[in-house]
Amino acid sequence: IEIKSIPAFNDNYIWLIQNSDGHCAVVDPGDAKPILEYLKTHELILEAILITHHHNDHIGGVPDLVHAFPHISVIGPKTEPIPTLTNPVEEGDKLELFGETFLVLGLPGHTLGHIGYVGDGKLFCGDVLFSAGCGRVFEGTLEQMYESLSKIAALPEETEVFCAHEYTASNIAFALAVEPDNEQLHHYRDEVNR
């Protein structure tokens, strides 16, 4: 499978998971318009939507995608208020996607029912982990967020991480405010600025 990013809003990533015969799935489609344009331009058929949590910038495009593809599977957290779900899932559940098995991880903290999907050496983690930072704790507790980050840290080191926002520069700026003498952060900031 191949992964493409479709930018949305100011800093969201909608991830498109594509197989070799023109079928695809999307993760956290907050906006349908860029997805529908991408599908038309690349002549792709949307088969599934994977949702990590209920915030509108992750689910806002789902109704229009369901309208365009009425038989689509909408997979997401069982315990979150998402009216369009056809396949509610929770930690430990598995799903097949284009010949790959993805495991559902419970990743509460940002929201209480936040989940992630890991398979084929890839993790779709929504708003739990970002480059140089983690998500804000809105509904859960700091302890839950720490446990969620610990689950991610326990994955194989070569796991590719696909987060849902581009926050790298601002996360580095915050980290440098906390650790102004951290040389690795200075090098990373310079790399990101380049």
Which one-letter amino acid corresponds to residue 2?
E
> Catalytic: 110?
yes
Looking at 28, 31, 58, 114, which residue is catalytic?
58
Looking at 31, 54, 55, 114, which residue is catalytic?
55
- Give 85's contacts (C-beta < 8 A, 6+ positions apart): 51, 74, 75, 76
> Catalytic: 54?
no
Looking at 31, 53, 54, 114, which residue is catalytic?
53
> Catalytic: 31?
no
> Catalytic: 127?
yes
> Catalytic: 64?
no
- In DSSP terms, which residues pair with 73 in a beta bridge? 48
Looking at 31, 57, 67, 71, which residue is catalytic?
57
Burial class (CB in 10 A: 0-12, 13-18, 19+), 2: exposed
Looking at 165, 181, 187, 190, which residue is catalytic?
165
Looking at 28, 31, 54, 110, which residue is catalytic?
110
Tell me the catalytic residues. Answer: 53, 55, 57-58, 110, 127, 165
